[in-house]
Amino acid sequence: MKKTKTKDSNQLNLFDVIKRLSAEAKEQTTQAGSFNVDARARALLSDALKTSPLSRELVAGRMSELTGMEITKSQLDSWTAESKENHRFPFVYAAAFCEASGNVEILRLASEMCGCYLLKGEDALLTELGRIEQTKEKLAKKEKLIRETLNQLGFKKERSQP
């Protein structure tokens, strides 16, 4: 016996919740100066380096390998030091930094500032399954409407005989 899901009219759709939260976040972050995230970015980079299993030297070396450009421990230190206002982390190194440090929080910050969400691995796949399910529900409703319309117009579904 197949169980059918009943949809509670009070139950929120995950995608609607995300849209609403994104709109609220956008309202809060589009004010003058709200995208000046220098201190937050430095803190995220610093925390990523502190929690990385690799030393700063090894993270810099791995980033150098990945980018084909020399990146030094000194540069990492400058990008994370609050006192080095004129030394900002170049976003072109973000992917290499995430890969080398094993931390994606700098990408999460950039994503959320733009009203997006960063999903990894299983979460990304589960979200995609949710999208597929939502599409299937929409198609099933459309199919039902078309069949009802055809029936109302007097057209019967012809079945092929085996």
Dist CA 94 CA 89 (whole Å): 8
Closest CA to 61 of 49, 47, 71: 71
6 lies in a domain?
no
CB 105 within 8 A of CB 49: no
Write the burial class of residue 109 (CB in 10 Å: 0-12 exposed, 13-18 middle, 19+ buried).
Answer: middle
Percentage of residues in the chain having pLDDT higher than 70: 76
Same domain, 88 and 145: no
67 lies in a domain?
yes
Same domain, 128 and 73: no
pLDDT digits (tens, 9 = 90+) for 57-84: 999 999 999 999 999 999 999 999 988 8
Containing structural domain, residue 50:
14-118
**97, 118, 139 - which closes a domain:** 118
80 lies in a domain?
yes
Closest CA to 48 of 32, 36, 63: 63
> Which two three-digit tokens encode residue 140?
């099933």
- What pTM did the predictor assign? 0.61
3 lies in a domain?
no
Q: What sign does the CA torsion over 85, 86, 90, 93 have? A: negative
Same domain, 24 and 103: yes
Same domain, 113 and 129: no
pLDDT digits (tens, 9 = 90+) for 2-25: 555 555 555 666 667 666 776 666
Hey, is 55 helix, strand or coil?
coil
